[in-house]
Amino acid sequence: MKSNKYIQNHLDQLMNSAENPSQLSTSSDFEDTLFARFDAIDAQTKPKSATIFSISEIQKYAAVILFLVLNITVILFYTTSTDSSDDPQDIVSEYSDEYFPDYATLTSLE
């Protein structure tokens, strides 16, 4: 059985240890590890850059003109190549024969 005096003395000693802990220092590789982590963060947060192509003013104008020429060519090609051989009169007579049969045909059906 410990005496009260012993316990109080021990408690004083423990309080002293709690109030005055030995001051610690970081390990020798602390800075190296930390700066390696900083490098990793930088690598993650670095903005990703795409390859940028730069062209001169003349090239820009040439590209626009080429684009326009190609478009106009395509439009002209389609408008000129549409079949214009159909005579409007032929079309009318074709449909009128189908929908408005002549009198003889009608009477022959009776």
Partner 1 sequence: MEEKEFIQKLRDKDRNAFMQLVREYKDPLLNVCFGYLKDVDDAEDLTQEVFTEVYKTIGNFKEEASLFTWMYRIAISRSLDELKKRRSLKRAAYFEKRVRSEAAELEMSQKVSDFSNPEEELLQKQQQEFIKYCLNELPETQRTAFVLSQQDGLSYKEIAEVMEKSLSSIESLVHRSKQNLRKIMEGNYENYF
Task: Name the residues that contact partner 1, by CB under 8 A.
Answer: 2, 7, 10-11, 14-15, 17-21, 23-27, 30-31, 33-35, 37-38, 41-42
The dihedral over CA atoms of 95, 97, 103, 108, expressed in degrees to the nearest 10, equals: -120
CB-nearer residue toward partner 1: 28 or 84 = 28
- What DSSP line would sit under 47-73, residue for residue? PP--------HHHHHHHHHHHHHHHHH
CB of 22 to partner 1, least distance (A): 9
Nearer to partner 1, 35 or 61 (CB): 35
